[in-house]
């Protein structure tokens, strides 16, 4: 059973992911305690948890802020993310059970339904489940933990990417190739496709940089 600070951590993490709390925003413990109708203690514990994940930065005597990622740091983190996902895909192609392959196909179908309804937020959550299915299929717990940790730090930015024009349909088409490669057992192809799917460079980087100001406005 989750304790209150863990529930608060998850709620705050979600608010950061969807832009309700934007990069660089000050996180006032008193305001958050009033918002969630709790004392400051579980809020402080939740912020410490988020800081350990790199999602929040706690500054001595100045309180906590939502972590900000500069352009160079974003590129470097997406570069590492693409390699982690590529490795997950390569291992998943070799190790996925039939049941896990079916779960991956179901997650892919769920993305198709979200695409058809043109709901970027819905697609974002289905997309997260799709990638999680690939992580699980790698059967490497250390790799899964590292991939999840970095995915969490990049959530606001991965979500923002999906709002770029035509990105939903392109993302789904890329998923389709990944699924086929994994199901057919072609680990090298799965790795190559996932690396390209996650890597942010060229026009995709320009689009993300242009979209960053929207992060703080999505809840408005």
CA-atom Rg of the chain in angstroms: 18
Q: Considering the entire predicted model, what is its pTM?
A: 0.83
pLDDT of residue 142: 98
Q: How far is CA 86 from CA 31, 143, 175, in A?
A: 41, 11, 13
pLDDT of residue 220: 39
Strands 26-27 and 63-66: antiparallel
pLDDT of residue 65: 95
- Contact between 103 and 91 under an 8 Å Cβ cutoff? The reply is no
Distance between CA atoms of residues 66 and 15, nearest Å: 10
Instruction: Report angle CA 151, 154, 13 to the nearest 5 degrees.
Output: 85
pLDDT of residue 216: 55
pLDDT of residue 203: 81
List 64's β-bridge partners, or say none.
27, 58
How many residues can be counted in the chain? 220
| pLDDT profile of the chain (220 residues), mean per 10 | 82 85 91 94 94 91 89 92 98 98 98 88 92 98 96 86 84 96 98 95 81 60
Mapped onto helix, strand or coil, the DSSP state of residue 66 is strand
Strands 56-59 and 26-27: unpaired
- Contact between 107 and 65 under an 8 Å Cβ cutoff? The reply is no
Distance between CA atoms of residues 31 and 27, nearest Å: 8
Write the CB contacts of 220 (distance below 8 Å, at least 6 apart in sequence).
none
Sorted by where each starts, the structural domains of the chain and their CATH numbers stand as 4-66 (1.10.10.10), 71-216 (1.20.120.530)
Place of tokens 């990069």: 23
């Amino acid at each position: 059973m989750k304790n209150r600070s863990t529930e608060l951590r998850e709620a705050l993490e979600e608010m950061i992911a969807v832009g309700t709390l934007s990069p660089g925003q000050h996180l006032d413990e008193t305001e958050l305690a009033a918002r969630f109708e709790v004392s400051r203690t579980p809020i402080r514990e939740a912020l410490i948890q988020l800081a350990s994940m790199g999602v929040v930065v706690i500054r001595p005597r100045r309180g906590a802020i939502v972590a900000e990622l500069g352009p160079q740091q974003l590129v470097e983190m997406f570069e590492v993310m693409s390699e982690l996902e590529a490795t997950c895909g390569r291992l998943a192609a070799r190790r996925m059970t039939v049941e896990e392959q079916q779960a991956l196909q179901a997650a892919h179908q769920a993305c198709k339904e979200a695409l058809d309804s043109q709901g970027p937020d819905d697609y974002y959550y289905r997309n997260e489940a799709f990638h999680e299915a690939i992580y699980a299929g790698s059967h490497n717990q250390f790799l899964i933990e590292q991939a999840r940790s970095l995915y969490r730090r990049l959530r606001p930015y991965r979500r923002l990417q999906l709002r770029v024009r035509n990105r939903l349909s392109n993302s789904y088409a890329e998923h389709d190739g990944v699924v086929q490669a994994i199901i057919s057992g072609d680990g090298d192809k799965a790795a190559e496709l996932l690396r390209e799917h996650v890597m942010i460079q060229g026009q995709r980087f320009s689009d993300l940089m242009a979209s960053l100001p929207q992060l703080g406005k999505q809840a408005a």
